[in-house]
Amino acid sequence: MKIARRVTLAVLLLSLIMLLLGGCRWMPSLPVTTPPVPDVNETKDPTPNGDDYEADPEPVVKAKTNPIPIPIPKIKVTEPEIKVTEPEVKRPPKPPALAGVTVDEQVLLDHNGIIITLKSLDYDDFYGPLFIILIENESDTSITVSTFNEYTNGIMKNTFFHVSVEPGKKANEEMRVLTYDMILAGIETVAEVEFMFRIYNSETHNNIYISDLINIKTSAYDSYTQVHDDSGTLLFDEKGLKFVAKDLESDIDETYWGARIPVYIENTSDRDLIVQLVDVSVNGYMIDPYYSCTLVSGKRAYDTIRFTRSHFDRNDIENIEELEFTLQIVYSSSGYTVLGSKKCVLNFKS
């Protein structure tokens, strides 16, 4: 009994070891049977079900042949060359007599630690000649310097000068005369530039100093004479003021500015004047173009009366046939004392 029990335990232990090592189950051996070999001479019924049927044809074994190599031409892929052509930048036409004009370096203003010096003139700039000006702020206040009442060869032209300088710092800034404005006024050479400086506190905007009229003469001053074109319709010529309207520069189009009328103004009086247009109508419809021009004594201006397209759209105006307005001249010092006024009519009928 003890021997049988030990044999049983040994068998169980051996089975457990086989499961752990190989994952196999112990199975009793089965007898091996060999399948019968069919008799090749035995005749069998060709149909499994006893019916006649056409036997499948014997498979055709194709002989293996080596494929004939077909040469594949090498195609050279060349990427197309892409040429990038930058758009041509057209420079504004340069007045022909402008080249070679220079200025001397000079101090323009020296006031309470604020020194402004003209350094040079660059006449080859893209948009027109420009003056290089140095501002030195030796004061203890942040300042802003700008110009007003600017004139080139005695003709009113903005110079677009505006710069801020911190205490103890310096700044080089450009004062520019636009080529477009020069061509409009018939200026071929910059012979003289005049303007006034306004210096104010950058934080409070209170004025620190307003300069007198500053005059810069270039190397062309002694040899150049400015010619003025006052042709057109003379609308006012009284008390030292002349106002001339040119032809309609552009009719109503698709741009924001619907129409422009160039004008020539000349102030030969001894007072600074403001020229305004009031009670303006186009083809009988009241329109406000908001035109105002301040002109210093002894100076001239080539200005433009402008109308926006919206002025015409809301009044269904397709063509300007008649422009009517009152020309009003007042003293710039008072702003309300009228020097003179006149009702003017311009006809543009074709």
pLDDT of residue 70: 61
- Is residue 98 a part of any domain in this protein? no
The whole-chain average pLDDT of the chain stands at: 80
Instruction: Name every residue whose Cβ is closer than 8 Å to that of residue 340 and which is 6 or more positions away in sequence.
Output: 236, 238, 239, 241, 328, 329
Nearest to 170 by CA among 194, 200, 139: 139
pLDDT of residue 345: 93
Neighbours of 219 (CB within 10 A): 16
Amino acid letter, 50: G
Q: Which of 116-125, 310-319, 336-345 has the highest mean pLDDT?
A: 116-125
Structure tokens at 64: 């293996």
pLDDT band at 199 (very low <50, low <70, confident <90, very high): very high
Fill in the DSSP letter of residue 179.
H
- Is residue 82 a part of any domain in this protein? no
Same structural domain for residues 147 and 197?
Answer: yes
Task: State the maximum Cα–Cα separation within the chain, in Å, rounded to a whole number.
Answer: 153
Residue in this structure with the two tokens 């677009």, named with its chain if needed: 160
Same structural domain for residues 177 and 249?
Answer: no
Task: Decide: helix, strand or coil at residue 14.
Answer: helix
- Is residue 52 a part of any domain in this protein? no
Same structural domain for residues 172 and 238?
Answer: no
Nearest to 155 by CA among 129, 130, 181: 181
CATH of the domain at 202: 2.60.40.2550
- Residue with the bigger pLDDT between 64 and 146: it is 146
- Is residue 328 a part of any domain in this protein? yes
Nearest to 263 by CA among 283, 278, 277: 277
pLDDT band at 308 (very low <50, low <70, confident <90, very high): confident
The Cα–Cα gap between 116 and 142 comes to 15
Q: Which of 1-5, 15-19, 258-262 has the highest mean pLDDT?
A: 258-262
Handedness of CA 160, 164, 165, 167 (dihedral sign): positive
Instruction: Name every residue whose Cβ is closer than 8 Å to that of residue 5 and which is 6 or more positions away in sequence.
Output: none
**Domain housing 116:** 106-217
CATH of the domain at 241: 2.60.40
Same structural domain for residues 237 and 309?
Answer: yes
How big is the chain by its Cα radius of gyration, in Å? 50
- Is residue 239 a part of any domain in this protein? yes
Nearest to 338 by CA among 346, 347, 329: 329
Instruction: Name every residue whose Cβ is closer than 8 Å to that of residue 254 and which is 6 or more positions away in sequence.
Output: 309
Same structural domain for residues 287 and 197?
Answer: no
Chain segment 43-56, per-residue pLDDT in tens = 455 545 555 545 55
Residues facing 156 on adjacent strands: 151
Q: Show which of 156, 182, 217 is a domain's final residue.
A: 217
Chain segment 15-54, per-residue pLDDT in tens = 667 666 555 444 444 454 555 555 545 445 554 555 554 5
The Cα–Cα gap between 195 and 106 comes to 15
Q: Show which of 173, 191, 217 is a domain's final residue.
A: 217
- Is residue 112 a part of any domain in this protein? yes
Res 130 pLDDT > 80? yes
Same structural domain for residues 124 and 201?
Answer: yes
Handedness of CA 307, 312, 318, 322 (dihedral sign): negative
Predicted TM-score of the model (pTM): 0.66
The Cα–Cα gap between 205 and 186 comes to 37
Torsions phi, psi for 193 (to 5 deg): -130, 135
Same structural domain for residues 199 and 112?
Answer: yes
**Structural domain count of the chain:** 2
Q: Which of 61-75, 143-157, 241-255 has the highest mean pLDDT?
A: 143-157
- Is residue 80 a part of any domain in this protein? no
